[in-house]
Amino acid sequence: HLHRNYNCRNFFMKLSCTKMEDCLIEDQTTFYSKAEHYWKEVPPTVDGMLGGYGSISSIDINGSKKFLQKFLGEGQGKTGTGCALDCGAGIGRITKRLLLPLFRTVDLVDVTQEFLDKARSYLGEEVKQVENYFCCGLQDFQPQPERYDVIWIQWVIGHLTDDHLVEFLRRCRSGLRPDGLIVVKDNVAFEGVIPDDVDSSVCRDLNLLHRLVARAGLNIICEEQQQNFPEEIYQVHTLALR
């Protein structure tokens, strides 16, 4: 969708934007409302969640499981398995295969009510472990203080402005139990900020993501690149933060 981004001239000059606000095509309100409208039209399926790449879901989940399991368990500094929060959860693709098998209870938050409605049937038998479905934009969401062992944030940070992402990560930090962990798993750009005018999101480079994480007062405990994804898509990185 790069050809649509007339306002992000820096990108084409290979200087690239260093803040996502430089790349915003319209104002902030439009940035959010366009995304909401986009997702309302997307079918509530795994393929819909992954923009037609439903086939990579298993590779993604298996990579996440391996990553997360390093931190869970008993003993000094280990993250508990009581309650997890799935942010930008959609129909609960990650909740179903990653979080419900590992945590006693799970909460979901997403801006699209239709996806949360679908989750109730999609999640199957284990749906009874879900305590809350919050229909809310992450820019407005306040996690309950000290409730979560793990806060999982995947393929959604591009829908938040830099400032909103920093503030959201700060609130997530307060939402963690002792030894809790925030995991961000998302696309990273090779350089700069690449806007997507179709779903109204941006893709940031790793350098910018690191700076935003630091601004939120979080440390990177571990970082990995997801392997075995198709060549043509963005690199995907997983960051464990606390």
Ligand X SMILES: C[S@@+](CC[C@H](N)C(=O)[O-])C[C@H]1O[C@@H](n2cnc3c(N)ncnc32)[C@H](O)[C@@H]1O
Annotated binding-site members for S-adenosyl-L-methionine: 88, 93, 110-112, 138-139, 154
* Cα–Cα distance for residue pair 209/222, rounded to 1 Å: 14
Residue 182 touches ligand X, criterion: CB under 6 A? no
* Site size with ligand X, rule: CB under 6 A: 19
Give the nearer residue to ligand X in terms of CB position, either 24 or 94. Answer: 94
Neighbours of 22 (CB within 10 A): 17
Q: How far is CA 149 from CA 113, 176, 196, 202, in A?
A: 25, 6, 32, 28
Neighbours of 13 (CB within 10 A): 8
> Which residue of 31, 93, 147, 209 would you call a contact of ligand X, by CB under 6 A?
93
> Which residue of 5, 83, 107, 110 would you call a contact of ligand X, by CB under 6 A?
110
Task: Supply angle C-alpha 223, 229, 231, rounded to 5.
Answer: 115
**Site for ligand X, residues 52 to 91, rule: CB under 6 A:** 88-90
* Cα–Cα distance for residue pair 75/115, rounded to 1 Å: 37
Binding mask 136-175 for ligand X (x = CB under 6 A): -xxx--------------xxx--x----------------
- Binding footprint of ligand X on the chain (CB under 6 A): 35, 39, 49, 88-90, 93-94, 110-112, 115, 137-139, 154-156, 159
